[in-house]
Amino acid sequence: MAVAEMRRILKPDGFIVMKEPICFSQLCATMRAVFPAKDDVSEYEHPLTKEEFTKVQEGFHVSGLRLFRLPFVAITRYLDLKPKLFMKSSDFMLCHCHYLEHFATVAVMKLIAGFTPGHYI
């Protein structure tokens, strides 16, 4: 498993920055079924569920967690719209309406190995 390998190779206080697709809501899961990924995606790839996302974080200190992309941003690809405006709208909404975080589709975080209390990076 990738997480076990990350733990193995990281030195104490070493870190990795992860960007992962996530799917915490049933609504998002349904939308992904209706609008499947256009890119070359293998059958075993999938967005992390809330439980999987929590498990990835075990044994690390999580720093700088940010959530991105509400589902409507992905729909712009199917409608041949330019996603920049939609992406900015999504960022604004996630920044100001924290209850929408449940619907984010991408997470970025810094995972720090061997983190010791009182040590700030």
pLDDT of amino acid 121: 43
Other Cβ atoms less than 10 A from the Cβ of 77: the count is 14
Mind listing the pLDDT tens digit for each residue in 65-83? Answer: 999 988 888 777 777 777 7
Q: What is the model's pTM? A: 0.78
Structural domain count of the chain? 1
In a domain, 40, yes or no: no
User: Does residue 98 form part of some domain?
Assistant: yes
- Residue 51 within a domain: yes
- Note the pLDDT tens digit of each residue in 76-102: 777 777 778 888 999 999 999 999 999
In a domain, 95, yes or no: yes
- Whether 69 is in a domain gets the answer yes
Answer for the pair 104, 70: CB distance below 8 angstroms, yes or no: yes
Residue 80, domain member (yes or no): yes
Q: Identify whether 119 is part of a domain.
A: no
Handedness of CA 98, 103, 109, 111 (dihedral sign): positive
Strands 15-21, 60-68: pairing is: unpaired
- Structural domain including 52 reads 2-35+45-113
Averaged confidence pLDDT in the chain:
84
Beta strands in the chain (DSSP E): 15-21, 60-68, 106-113
Q: For the chain, give the percent of residues with pLDDT over 70.
A: 88
| Under 8 Å between Cβ of 107 and 19 | yes
pLDDT the model gives residue 115: 56
pLDDT digits (tens, 9 = 90+) for 7-23: 888 988 899 999 999 98
As a whole number, mean pLDDT of residues 39-63 equals 85
% of the chain surpassing 90 pLDDT: 40
Tell whether 118 is covered by a domain. no
Contacts of 120 (CB under 8 A, 6+ apart): none
pLDDT at residue 61 tops 80: yes
